[in-house]
Structure 1
Amino acid sequence: MFRDPFMTFLVCFGHFDRESYRLFGEPRAHRQQVSAMLSYKEKKLFVSNSAFDHPSRHQTTWIGQIRDRTTGKIINIFNQIDYILCQKQNKHLLTNARSYAGTLLTSDHKLVKASFKLEKHKLCRKEQHSKRTPKPNIAAIVNKEESQRRYQNTLDTKLSSITSVRKNNTDNSKARADSVPDRLKCVQTIIKQSIEESVGCVATARQNKHNDEELSQLSKRQKDIRVKIQNTKDNNKRDRLKIERNRILHTIRKRQIKLKNEEIEKKIEGINSAKCDHAMFKATRLLYQKQFENPKVEDQEGKLASNPNDILDIVSSHFKTIQKPGKKKGPPNNLRPITLLNSLRKALSIITLNRIRPFVEEYLSKSQSGFRPDRSTADVVWTHKWLAAKTLKEDVIIKISGIDMSAAFDTIDRNQLLNIIATIVNEGELRIIRFLLSNTKIKTRINGATKTNTFISNVGTPQGDSLSPVLFIVYLEHALKEVRTTLPRPIVKYEKEIPNEIAYADDVDFIGQDYVNINEIQETLHKYQLKVNTDKTEFTALSKNEEDWKNAKKVGSLIGDLEDVERRKQLSTAALNKLYHVWMKGNKLKTTTKIQLYNSLVKSILLYNCSTWALTLTEEEKINAFHRKQLKKVLNIKFPVKITNKSLYKKCQEKPLSLQILKARWNLFGHILRRDSDIPANRATRAYFIQYGHKLRGRPTTTLPIVLNRGLIDHFRLHSTDDLVKITELAKDRKQWRELSARIEKAAEASQTVNWDATRQ
């Protein structure tokens, strides 16, 4: 035997009381499960004495006798149960294997002999040197502008020559018969030749192999010493050689680490030298703004999964179905689909979105607030609040017809979508979008474990990336343009400033003096495979004499301020109670940690769209008291322990909610004034100051315009259109607007402190 693992010869032999693939005689009734024979296939072993065609007397290895029950005669039995096993990779060294009888030792087993021709040059595994062809130097084209210019000039020259040849051979039938794959192959060949001629090729290096002379000499020295260790018989000399070889191995490892670090530094230098304004850099930064630990996917045996299909199955098995809020459990339509997208596809979606953003913004109408920069649900709620304030100020009735789509993203006709996109974007962006929408696969899960076969979907847009929502609103905008042309709507005198539509994604509100005909809208949208959810269709009339509109929900908020505040209190209380076990941990969690959890999971629910609230001073104090009550629950402060309001805010590093609402309101007001003047929020703001009907008598109701006017100080007021124009000009200067907001907030904070002192006295 040799100590070199590549020169090791493994042989297994013995008595195996278990059938092989070749047996002689009757098998025994009591066969035991011998572990060696159970695993011989897994170890890739070869049965030597069953591989040669010898007479039966030289193949059987066991002789036994049994008495026949019917005749009483003794019958001899011959079986093959003794084997000599070798590795399959060494079976070419096997020359002969057979059994022999007539041994001097009395036994029911025969002698088994296997002959191998062991030669060192045949036993050693030869190193296989694969042919390594040079590859085009693509990295030089990516990182160097000079190389890009040379490559572009070479490519243009070759393509122009091919084009001229095709034009000259238009009458040739062979040229007309060229198929698309042949043309594609020709273009690929031209691209490869252009790279080779302009920037050259690079040799493909082996992985973890270094072309270093010092490392090569050290490796040769340690191999020579290893041979001396194997051939020497002097123990002292062998120990000295081992020490010397270990010293060389440590030097080799240090050298390898140094070379690997130099290689990594070289790659890092190439990355740092690349332009950071590249589209892929920007998209990747957006995906990985925070550092997360890479999770390890393991199989059932605890081993690291490497097969992509196995990883997909393991990851998808951990997902739980997401129930749509307010829907019954059971029907599949009430579950939200889960989309698994890799990082490369998400980055490509971000790049595509950045490239088509200017074209999309020009195509979309100003009424759409969903999935657009500097737009949000607050714009929609702000518009409805100003329209409601208009009806509370004057004798005006505004009617709103709201529609919503069912499974909007899943019903898009991709062919129609691509036809619409083709009229908006360039050919390059269209090609990328077509690629992103193709080859989308769907798999359903039944009872949490059973899965159907994967099938390809050609309908809808895959949710989960930043591009799909934008594609949907473009598709919806095309359908709404046809709705606007076919839908007869009355034109009244105040519709010139009041917005006709307010949309956020698939939630669309049609505004006018009368309700629209939903059936006509359904017929038009049905042409584009869009389904109107009749259960979510709402008809709302804004009027001083009606109160139902205050409970109308728009993008998660109620139009009525008090109604919305009460609903937010209920939702935040439910969220606070779900974390009861967290607040009761006492000193196990720091106060700062508890407040961070509260702000993220509870206060964000309480203050959703709070910038659109118009509250009186009494209502502001009520919500401040509610906030302090929740903070005491978070800190587990109960009776009889007492704490002042000022101490509570200081301990939690918080401010009264009324001040936070005030700051959010003025930030949103300035943000809207700086936007386009034709967006619904600005149109509704201007319409408030234009008198269309008779002004109602009595004390005005507290609305958003009145609260904003109450907060203004110095010479600013908000009573007319001229005042709105002055404030709009001021809002365009962000520095002056921040100073104005800071003065308003400071005055409100001083008033709050005075009220606390008066209450204490």
Structure 2
Amino acid sequence: MSTAERGRSNRPISLLSALYKLLTKVISKQVERVLDAEQPREQAGFRKNYSTIDHLHAINELIERCSEYRMPLYIAFIDYEKAFDTVETNSLWNVLQEQGVQSQLITLLRGIYASAQSMFKVGETTIPVKICRGVRQGDTISPKLFIATLEHVFRKLSWNDFGLAVNGNFLTNLRFADDVVLLAKSAEELQTMIDELDEHSLKCGLKISTAKTKIMATAGTAISLRGTQLECVESFLHLGQRISLNRDFPEEIARRIRAGWSCFHRYEKFMSSRTVEMEYKRALFNMCILPAMLYGAETWVLAKTTERKLACAQRRMERFMVGVRLLDKKTNAWLRGVTKVKDAVSSARERMWAYGWELAMSTNVKWSRELVEWRPPLTRPAGRPKARWRDEFQKVLGTCNWQLIARAKTKKEWIDLTRCRML
């Protein structure tokens, strides 16, 4: 990699004074309520009561429905080049005014950005550089300013009839900060959406990367941007989860197991030491290693084979913790009695049930909840569909109306039903 390429791929560390951070924290609290009220449910980044899981589940549910009903689906994973560093500050002030931020706060922010400069120290030489664009790295208010700018871009788009009709509403995009997913029912529609988004994004200083933007479609298609054909992929890593149209959860779970092992090896000396008390190993396993293995488990469709893989990986880690080998012929019950760690399979299922309860009880009409309740107005083709996310609840409860039962129970009572599944 050349020096120029390394420079484009890396960012210097930005250091801000504690007093400045305190000031922008106060400003952020003042504008947060106003800007959040202007954000649609499509945007889940840096918002209270939203998470990456909401959008991961929404995408998985959408793919599940389109697969079950044989509906065409065209997805574009949009990547902006240096998104936070390229926002035009002149357009930013108009955006804040448009979205109802007080003029005094806008004036204060303009003053902060007008005098912004960075100091580069090379040896004994200090070089001042005036900052003319972009939101500040490490600034508490920067994420809010960026998503406000992105919302301004999307408001300029006339996509009333684009996307997929879900319960009377059209779903055209899902956003988590600068991670944008466009959804369309045809290649022509997706091409139009990408072109229009690129046109209006450039006006605010945001440029879509032709190299990193990927297309995923149920049928082969050629989508281009500024004369460059975009790559069509079978799977894509989005918000930390591998998304694919064939809903390959075994491969995603294998990825999570590898992530768990990566975390385990980071602390291997500690975890395998005979001088460290088991209670400390247990705490580290439950707080660091298990979450790495189970990220996104709320959206999984578990099968017996994947459950066995999770269990086998965990038992191997536990043997390292205790200091025994397979040849020692210690039973799984004995091993768990010594480590007393949380069970990975049970924890994955509990996460899924807890998320199902939260969706059922949610007062916010998120797309994740809307898609769970969505039934396309089509006749489903004959034959048994692939395992679905909601099948877990229906199998245990014996009814399709699992959300009604969830609303009648506390979260603990609802999660306790997972024991019925484990028996």
User: Fold conserved (TM > 0.5)?
Assistant: yes
Q: Does 1:640 align with 2:318?
A: no
User: Which residue matches 1:521?
Assistant: 197
2:208 aligned to 532, 535, 538, which one? 532
Residue 330 of structure 1 deviates from its aligned partner by 6.1
User: Which residue matches 1:626?
Assistant: 313
Contact 1:677 1:683 in 2 (8 A): no
User: Which residue matches 1:352?
Assistant: 27
Q: 1:506 to 1:639 in 2, by over 3 A?
A: same
User: 1:725 & 1:603 partners in 2: Cα distance?
Assistant: 28
| 1:699-718 superposed matches below 5 A | 699-712=384-397, 717-718=399-400
User: Which residue matches 2:40?
Assistant: 365
Which digits, 9 at most, give the CA deviation of each residue in 1:276-335, with x for residues without a partner?
Answer: xxxxxxxxxxxxxxxxxxxxxxxxxxxxxxxxxxxxxxxxxxxxxxxxxx9999611211
User: 2:69 & 2:272 partners in 1: Cα distance?
Assistant: 52
1:691 aligned to 376, 379, 382, which one? 376
User: 1:330 & 1:747 partners in 2: Cα distance?
Assistant: 55
Q: 1:436 to 1:648 in 2, by over 3 A?
A: farther
Q: 1:336 to 1:455 in 2, by over 3 A?
A: closer
> What are the ranges of 5 or more consecutive residues in structure 1 without an aligned counterpart?
1-325, 752-761
2:271 aligned to 573, 580, 583, which one? 583
Contact 2:263 2:288 in 1 (8 A): yes
| 1:390-469 superposed matches below 5 A | 390-423=65-98, 424-444=100-120, 449=123, 452-469=126-143
Q: Does 1:374 align with 2:58?
A: no
Q: 1:493 to 1:738 in 2, by over 3 A?
A: closer
User: Which residue matches 1:554?
Assistant: 238
- Higher RCO structure (Cα 8 Å, ≥6 apart): 2
Residue 677 of structure 1 deviates from its aligned partner by 5.1
User: Which residue matches 1:77?
Assistant: none
1:541 aligned to 217, 220, 243, which one? 217
Which digits, 9 at most, give the CA deviation of each residue in 1:17-66, with x for residues without a partner?
Answer: xxxxxxxxxxxxxxxxxxxxxxxxxxxxxxxxxxxxxxxxxxxxxxxxxx
Contact 1:395 1:694 in 2 (8 A): no
Q: 1:704 to 1:336 in 2, by over 3 A?
A: farther
Identity of aligned residues (%): 21
Residue 581 of structure 1 deviates from its aligned partner by 3.2
Q: Does 1:335 align with 2:10?
A: yes
User: 2:146 & 2:360 partners in 1: Cα distance?
Assistant: 28
Look up the SS of the partner of 2:251 in the other structure: helix
1:347 maps to a residue whose letter is L
User: 1:334 & 1:472 partners in 2: Cα distance?
Assistant: 20
User: 1:400 & 1:606 partners in 2: Cα distance?
Assistant: 27
Q: 1:737 to 1:712 in 2, by over 3 A?
A: farther
Residue 639 of structure 1 deviates from its aligned partner by 4.0
Q: Does 1:740 align with 2:397?
A: no
User: 2:59 & 2:68 partners in 1: Cα distance?
Assistant: 14
Q: 1:638 to 1:530 in 2, by over 3 A?
A: same
Look up the SS of the partner of 1:502 in the other structure: strand
User: Which residue matches 1:567?
Assistant: 255
User: 1:538 & 1:398 partners in 2: Cα distance?
Assistant: 14
User: 1:641 & 1:681 partners in 2: Cα distance?
Assistant: 47
Q: 1:439 to 1:672 in 2, by over 3 A?
A: farther
Length, aligned pairs only: 402
Q: 1:603 to 1:329 in 2, by over 3 A?
A: farther
Q: Does 1:726 align with 2:404?
A: yes
User: Which residue matches 2:150?
Assistant: 476
Q: 1:491 to 1:365 in 2, by over 3 A?
A: closer
Q: 1:464 to 1:408 in 2, by over 3 A?
A: same
Q: 1:706 to 1:380 in 2, by over 3 A?
A: same
Contact 1:498 1:683 in 2 (8 A): no
Residue 563 of structure 1 deviates from its aligned partner by 1.8
Which digits, 9 at most, give the CA deviation of each residue in 1:326-368, with x for residues without a partner?
Answer: 9999611211332222333333333322222221122112100
Which digits, 9 at most, give the CA deviation of each residue in 1:467-520, with x for residues without a partner?
Answer: 1111100011101211x22x6964766583462211111111111202422333
Q: Does 1:682 align with 2:369?
A: yes
2:197 maps to a residue whose letter is I
Q: 1:380 to 1:391 in 2, by over 3 A?
A: same
Contact 1:405 1:533 in 2 (8 A): yes
Q: 1:522 to 1:498 in 2, by over 3 A?
A: closer
1:598 aligned to 263, 285, 289, which one? 285
Look up the SS of the partner of 2:80 in the other structure: coil
User: 2:140 & 2:127 partners in 1: Cα distance?
Assistant: 28
Contact 1:499 1:684 in 2 (8 A): no
User: Which of the two has higher C-alpha Rg?
Assistant: 1
Look up the SS of the partner of 1:454 in the other structure: strand
Q: 1:533 to 1:708 in 2, by over 3 A?
A: farther
User: Which residue matches 1:501?
Assistant: 173
Task: Please report the RMSD computed on the Cα atoms of aligned residues, expressed in angstroms.
Answer: 2.9
1:552 maps to a residue whose letter is F
Residue 375 of structure 1 deviates from its aligned partner by 0.6
Q: 1:744 to 1:433 in 2, by over 3 A?
A: farther
User: 2:412 & 2:217 partners in 1: Cα distance?
Assistant: 39
User: 2:178 & 2:85 partners in 1: Cα distance?
Assistant: 12
Residue 441 of structure 1 deviates from its aligned partner by 2.7
Contact 1:396 1:692 in 2 (8 A): no
Provide TM-score, normalisation by structure 1.
0.49
